[in-house]
Amino acid sequence: MEKLEVIGSKKLKGNIKISGSKNASLPILAATLISTKKIKIQNLPIVKDIQTMIFLLRSLGSNIKLSKNNNSIKIDNSKNIKTYAPYSLVKTMRAGILVLGPLLARFGKAKVSLPGGCAIGARPVDVHLKALSKLGVKYKIINGYIYANAPNGLMGNIIKFSKISVGATENLIIAATLANGKTILKNCAIEPEIKDLINFLRKMGCKINWIGKRTIRIIGNRDLKKINYQVMFDRIEAGTYMIASALTAGNLRITNIVPKVINTEINILKKIGTKIKIKSNEIIVIGSKKVKCTKIKTSPYPGFPTDLQAQLMVLLCKANGRSEITENIFENRFMHVAELNRMGAKIKVSGNKAIIEGNINFNSAELMATDLRASVSLILASLSAKGKSIINRIYHLDRGYERIEKKLQKVGANIKRNSK
């Protein structure tokens, strides 16, 4: 099984180009199922979750051609599309559930396995199913599968989500694009990846408008167009490398981004002592040896993202006092704490709150990744530690970070992949 070996205490210096967004690409790929026209998608990240979604689409009958460098694809969903998404593909990532909405919209029926992915809490699909039922979907769950159908087709309705859910918002937006009549979605998630999905669907010919901060109006329309679309940058990858520069007192130019999208992350890093120079499509992040303690709460966009919580925690271990992180999005998302404590961190968890004592120096260690973002936090801690650390179970990492060791090597990190 592959592992990463990291020898720490190196300042990172140079340029890192940010890849396309995994979390934007996945719903966009799923959304192609509503169309019979040819679609080209560019700037896809070369990560495991994207490969899994492509396998899933192919299993449904999509005709997909990958470019030589694998970061753009051509999709033709005009013929022989099936409505069954098997457990073998959906089990490895949560985004598999996103084929449910488009299959119901186009064909009026679907059999989709309950999803898998990182072990970070329940992440129930109830919000998706209850909302879809208001569009006329009838469903039952048998032996781990969702059996859903809309005998009379999907019908527009007014739907208020019981809680803000990125996945449910995406599923309902896609489903409502082909529904009869008008759909109003209230209490929607407003993450940039959702706005990217809407931009994609609009370019295809879907009639979607924001009519309030968290309210979307969709008029059903089946007259769709052939399109070419470029996916937005990965803001979580950008935030991860920003923190890496801050942690190692480095100097990184982070390119291929839109800085205003990550304004919250920029402001928090500035607040705790990091110098950041902002340009039109790049930022320069200069780390400081003095990190200030702070209190952070994860929350839906535009708040601080849960997907950067573990990475920021590593940086706060270096702060000049006690910091707090409150995790408001997912339960069970402090699984990295035990491994960080093995490296010398002093972190106590109580419920959804972590207390981080600062002024510590990380020790090298052999480590075990538990989920995608936890695995990258262990890389960050290892970059700061003295000596060689080994990180096992890096298949989690490969789900969401494109060639992370190659990008880090280019800016001075002593890191290598070992398959022995």
Assess whether pLDDT exceeds 50 at residue 31. yes
Q: Which CATH number fits domain 22-230: 1.10.1740.10, 1.10.10.10, 3.40.1010.10, 3.65.10.10?
A: 3.65.10.10
Assess whether pLDDT exceeds 90 at residue 33. yes
Query: Per-domain residue ranges for the chain?
Result: 3-19+233-418, 22-230
Assess whether pLDDT exceeds 60 at residue 119. no
Q: What is the pLDDT of residue 411?
A: 98
pLDDT in tens, 130-139: 999 999 999 9
pLDDT in tens, 252-271: 999 999 999 999 999 999 99
Q: What is the pLDDT of residue 118?
A: 47
Half-sphere exposure of 290 (CA within 13 A, CB side): 2
Q: What is the pLDDT of residue 122?
A: 54
Assess whether pLDDT exceeds 60 at residue 45. yes
Q: What is the pLDDT of residue 123?
A: 55
Q: Is 293 a catalytic residue?
A: no
CB contact burial 175-208 (16+ within 10 A = b; e otherwise)? bbbbbeeebbbebbbbbbbbebbbbbbeebbbeb
Assess whether pLDDT exceeds 80 at residue 120. no
Assess whether pLDDT exceeds 80 at residue 184. yes
Q: For residues 268-277, give the mean pLDDT.
A: 98
Band of the pLDDT at 121, cuts 50, 70, 90?
Answer: low
Mean pLDDT of the chain: 95
Q: What is the pLDDT of residue 170?
A: 98
Q: What is the pLDDT of residue 69?
A: 84
Q: What is the pLDDT of residue 330?
A: 85
Assess whether pLDDT exceeds 70 at residue 92. yes
Q: How far apart (Å, rounded) are the C-alpha atoms in residues 26 and 49?
A: 8
pLDDT in tens, 334-391: 999 999 999 999 999 999 999 999 999 999 999 998 888 889 999 999 999 999 999 9
Q: For residues 294-315, give the mean pLDDT.
A: 97
**Of 79-83, 111-115, 130-134, 276-280, where does mean pLDDT reach its minimum?**
111-115
Q: What is the pLDDT of residue 117?
A: 54
Q: How far apart (Å, rounded) are the C-alpha atoms in residues 199 and 152?
A: 29
User: What fold is seen in the domain 3-19+233-418?
Assistant: UDP-n-acetylglucosamine1-carboxyvinyl-transferase; Chain (3.65.10)
**Of 26-30, 305-309, 331-335, where does mean pLDDT reach its minimum?**
331-335
Do the domains spanning 3-19+233-418 and 22-230 agree at the CATH topology level?
A: yes
Q: What is the pLDDT of residue 372?
A: 81
Peptide bond into 259 cis (omega under 30): no
pTM of the predicted structure, to 2 decimals? 0.95
Question: Which residue among 118, 188, 206, 317 is the active-site one?
Answer: 118
Assess whether pLDDT exceeds 50 at residue 278. yes
Band of the pLDDT at 182, cuts 50, 70, 90?
Answer: very high
Q: What is the pLDDT of residue 370?
A: 84
Q: What is the pLDDT of residue 419?
A: 84
